[in-house]
Amino acid sequence: MKSTLLPAVLAIAAIASPALAEETRIPAGVFTNTQTQDQYLAKDNLIGAKVYDKDGKIIGDIEDLILNDFNQVEGVIMGTGGFLGFFEKKVGVNLSALKFTEDGGKTTISLPEATSGVLGAAEAYKRNQPRKSLLERAQEKAHELRDKSTATSESAAEKAKPALERAQEKAKEATEKAKEAFEKAKESAGPALDAAKSAVEQGIGIAKEALKEAGEVAKQAIDTAKDATQSDGKEPPPEAAPQAAPQAAPQDAPAEGQTPQ
């Protein structure tokens, strides 16, 4: 995800860089960034505010403002009657008829002249210009989203540019450090490899000698075992018996009454 996001941000930064390179000059007398003590915001004290009668009962709420050609507030549109917004009647009320009181930092709006009978008899406010259709409002919202997304992309690119530059510098430093570490490891690994090679060669020589000696010992053991096997399978040769003096063959015994010759 990061590998695809970084090129996209870089591309946005590259596209917006000519415009961002120019210093933005704020025109004088156009913007204000501080609310003064004698100012209030419509959503804080007007739009959506509850309107009370002289007895402190809620009789309606302010839903819109009526402005003149000089963009000055001349009146308000107040919704009254009905239930949960249904069957509600909208009446126009001049701003001068509303009474603003402040108590403990909270502003209360009242319409002292209004009663239930007066509100019931008052005519509903009639618009001279029709309300914007749902299609028109949807088109305006689409344009708003498009324009805001463009401005947000430019702002994001402007904010991301320093971070990208720092990231590039850090990546460059990390690459150089990695290269140095590799060279050092390569240099230190050379003697170690030579020592390992020498140790392996010595080990091979020792192993060869050991195998040779083991072969000779094994051969001697085999010969000994062979001789022992042959001696067990045959009788030992008889010793030379001493030769006895030859004896005369026995003669037949003489018959009774005869004397031997």
User: For residue range 132-186, what is the model confidence (pLDDT) as tens digits?
Assistant: 778 887 888 888 888 877 767 666 777 777 888 888 888 888 888 888 888 888 7
User: For residue range 11-42, what is the model confidence (pLDDT) as tens digits?
Assistant: 555 555 554 456 888 898 899 888 888 887 88
Give the confidence band of 75 by pLDDT, cuts at 50, 70, 90.
very high
Integer angstrom CA distances of residue 102 from 2, 61, 63: 55, 18, 21
* 222-236 mean pLDDT: 68
Integer angstrom CA distances of residue 66 from 41, 79, 100: 15, 14, 17
**Would strands 50-52 and 73-80 be described as parallel, antiparallel, or unpaired?**
unpaired
Nearest to 116 by CA among 65, 66, 55, 64: 55
Signed CA dihedral, 173, 179, 180, 185: sign only: positive
Nearest to 49 by CA among 107, 103, 134: 107
Q: For the chain, give the percent of residues with pLDDT over 90.
A: 22
90: burial class by Cβ within 10 Å (0-12, 13-18, 19+)? middle
- Least confident residue range of 33-37, 93-97, 232-236: 232-236
pLDDT at 22: 65
Count how many residues are written for the chain. 261
Give the confidence band of 59 by pLDDT, cuts at 50, 70, 90.
very high
pLDDT(10) > 70: no
* 124-131 mean pLDDT: 85
Nearest to 76 by CA among 91, 89, 88, 86: 91
pLDDT at 250: 52
**Dihedral of the alpha carbons of 21, 26, 31, 35, in degrees to the nearest 10:** 80
Q: Which carries the bigger pLDDT value, residue 30 or residue 240?
A: 30
Whether 61 contacts 46, CB under 8 Å: no
Q: What domains can be seen in the chain, in order of their start residue? A: 2-21+147-175 (no CATH), 48-127 (2.30.30.240)
Give the confidence band of 2 by pLDDT, cuts at 50, 70, 90.
very low
